[in-house]
Amino acid sequence: MTPSSSFWFSSFKLVLLPLLVFLLVVVSTLGPQQPSSLHPLSFASSLLQEPTSNNSILNGSSTDSSFLEAETDFFAPNIPFSDAIMEKETPRHDMSKNKESEAAVKRNSKLERIEANLARVRSSIKQAALVRNLTSTHQDPDYVPQGPIYRNANAFHRSYMEMEKLFKIYVYEEGEPPIFHNGPCRSIYSSEGRFIHELEKGKFYRTRDPDEALVYFLPFSVVMLVHYLYKPESHKTDAIGRVVVDYVDVIAGKHRYWNRSLGADHFMLSCHDWGPRASSYVPDLFHKSIRVLCNANTSEGFNPSKDASFPEINLLTGEVEGLLGGPSPSRRSILAFFAGRLHGYIRYLLLNEWRDKLDPDVQVFDQLPRGVSYMSKLKNSRFCLCPSGYEVASPRIVEAIYAECVPVLISDNYVPPFSDVLNWKAFSVQVAVKDIPNIKNILMGISQRQYLRMQRRVKQVQRHFVVNAAPKRYDVFHMINHSIWLRRLNILVRDFDS
C-alpha cells in the first residue's frame, strides 16, 4: 500500500477529517461580544427514577476541542485544506478482497458518489464561510440566517441547504419497543423520545436503503434502558451495558456498515445522565461514533468534534404552546431568577449564596412559595439562571429562551447545543462557578443597550429550539439533524471491497 498523499491511504478505511467543524468554528465571530468565560448548566432528574448520578465509572478521556478553542476566538484563517486533514483510524477488520460481487461494486460506487458529493459540499461551505457578512447571501423563502447569533450565517445557511439536499439517515430495524424505536415524549427527557419518534417517522431524511445513507442510527433509548433494567439504588449499570453491547454486536454482525467505519458514521442519542455511561460499554461507540448527548460534559469524554450537544427540553405536556414569548424587557422587574432543587455542587453554591439573602433582584429558590408560578417568574425576569445540576445540561436554558429571558449559564465543562453554528456569547451570559457570589454585580454591569440587544437575539434564536409537532425548517429537530450532518461531513468513509 503506497500512501499517495496524506489523504488517501489505501489501507485506511476511515479517515477522519477535523475540518468542517474547524471551519465553521473558525469562521466568524463578528459582532459585539460580551464578557464570557465558562459554559452552562443544568439539572437532571428523572420521571422514572432518580438515578444517583455518579458517572465516574466513565472511561472517557477529555479531549481538546476546536469548538472550545473557538470560544476563545481562536482563529487560524490560512490553514491549507490538506493540513487540516489527519488520519486517525486504522481498520481492524480486513475484508477479503476477492469477494467482489456485482452488488459490492454497485455499493462502492454509491459510497464513492456520496463521498464525492460530500467533498463538494465541504468546499462549498468553505467558500461560503469566506463571506463574512452578518447576513447570509443565500435566498430562502422561510428564513435567512443573520446577525451575531451565528458564528457565520452564510456558512451555516449553505451547510443547512446542502443538508436538505443530501442528508439521509438509515434507522436500523433490529430491536423491539419499548426499549428500541421508542422513548419518552414528555418530561425532562422529552428530547430523546421526540427525536427518536421523529426519526422513526422518517418524514424528512430517512432512507430505507442503507447503501444510500450518510449516517446510521442506533435506535435505543437510554431512558427506557434505565427504566426497565436498572435496579434503583443498585448503582449497577451492567445490565444496560450488556444490552448496548449485544445490540452493537448484532448490528455489526448482520450489516456491513458498522465494521466499515468502526462506528464513525453511526449515531446514538440520549438525554439521560447516563447516556455517556451507556455508550462506554462499547469502546468504538464511545470513542468513534457520533453521540448526541444532553450530558455534554467534556470531562466525561464528550468530544465536540465528533459528539453533538443535545438540548434538554422539559415538555410537561408534550407541547410547546403557551411556553413561547413573554413581556418586553421594560416590563421585567426581576433582575435574575432561579428555582430548583439542590442537585449537585453548582446548585449548592448558588442556593447557599443567594437563597437566604432574599434579594428582590436576584431571586433564588429551592422551592417556590405557594401560589407563585414558575412560568410567570421566568417571564418577569431579565436574566434566568441556568446552573448545572447533577449533570451539565439544564432544561432551564431552553425554558429561558422560550420565555425570552436571557439565559445565564453557570457550569463547568459544558458544551452548549449547536455551538458549532451559534455564537452563544451573543445571546447568553456565562458566569464562572467561582463568580456565583458576584452574579448581581456581573448582571448589573451589563448595559441596558447591551441587554436589549441580547434579549432581541434570544427571541431570534428561539426558532432553533422550538419543538414543533410537525417539524419545521430550522427548528430544534432540524438543528439536531444539522449537528449530526456536520459531524458526518468531518469523516471520510472508504469501503474495503473497493
Ligand X SMILES: *[C@@H]1O[C@H](CO)[C@@H](O)[C@H](O)[C@H]1NC(C)=O
In three-state form (DSSP H/G/I as H, E/B as E, the rest C), the secondary structure along 407-422 is EEEEECCECCCCCCCE
Smallest gap, in angstroms, from Cβ of residue 252 to ligand X? 5
Q: Which of 38, 39, 41 is nearest to 394 (CA)?
A: 41
Among 187, 259, 261, 303, binds ligand X (CB under 6 A): 259
* Amino acid present at 231: K
Cell numbers 442528508 correspond to 167
Q: Is 392 in the site for ligand X (CB under 6 A)?
A: yes
Among 471, 491, 493, 496, binds ligand X (CB under 6 A): 471
With contact defined as beta carbons under 8 Å apart, do 460 and 89 qualify?
A: no
Stretch that binds ligand X, among 19-27, 66-74, 175-183, 385-393 (CB under 6 A): 385-393
Q: Is 59 in the site for ligand X (CB under 6 A)?
A: yes
Smallest gap, in angstroms, from Cβ of residue 443 to ligand X? 22
- What is the pattern of x (binds ligand X, CB under 6 A) and - over residues 196-235? --xx-xxxxxx----------------------------x
Q: Is 344 in the site for ligand X (CB under 6 A)?
A: yes
Q: Is 252 in the site for ligand X (CB under 6 A)?
A: yes
Smallest gap, in angstroms, from Cβ of residue 358 to ligand X? 27
Q: Which of 427, 349, 344, 430 is nearest to 388 (CA)?
A: 344
- What is the pattern of x (binds ligand X, CB under 6 A) and - over residues 272-311? --------xx---------------x-xx-----------
Q: Is 341 in the site for ligand X (CB under 6 A)?
A: no
Smallest gap, in angstroms, from Cβ of residue 232 to ligand X? 13
Stretch that binds ligand X, among 179-187, 251-259, 362-370, 457-465 (CB under 6 A): 251-259
Strands (E), 173-329: 215-217, 266-270, 290-293, 308-309
Strands (E), 87-224: 169-171, 215-217
In the three-class reduction of DSSP (H, G, I as helix; E, B as strand; rest coil), residue 328 is classed as: coil
Total residues contacting ligand X (rule CB under 6 A)?
39
- Which of the residues 111 through 140 are near ligand X (CB under 6 A)? 131, 133, 135, 137
Instruction: State the virtual CA torsion across 202, 205, 206, 210 in degrees, nearest 10.
Output: 180
Category of 73 on φ-ψ map: left (φ > 0), alpha (ψ -120 to 50) or beta? left
d(CA 195, CA 478): 10
What does the buried/exposed string (b/e) look like for 57-68 if buried means 16 or more CB atoms within 10 Å of the residue's CB? ebebeeeebbbb
Count CA atoms closer than 13 A to 400's CA, side-chain side.
31
Smallest gap, in angstroms, from Cβ of residue 219 to ligand X? 11
Among 93, 106, 120, 434, binds ligand X (CB under 6 A): 93
Given the rule CB under 6 A, which residues bind ligand X? 54-57, 59, 93, 131, 133, 135, 137, 169, 198-199, 201-206, 235, 252-253, 256, 259, 280-281, 297, 299-300, 344, 388, 390-392, 413, 471, 477-478, 481
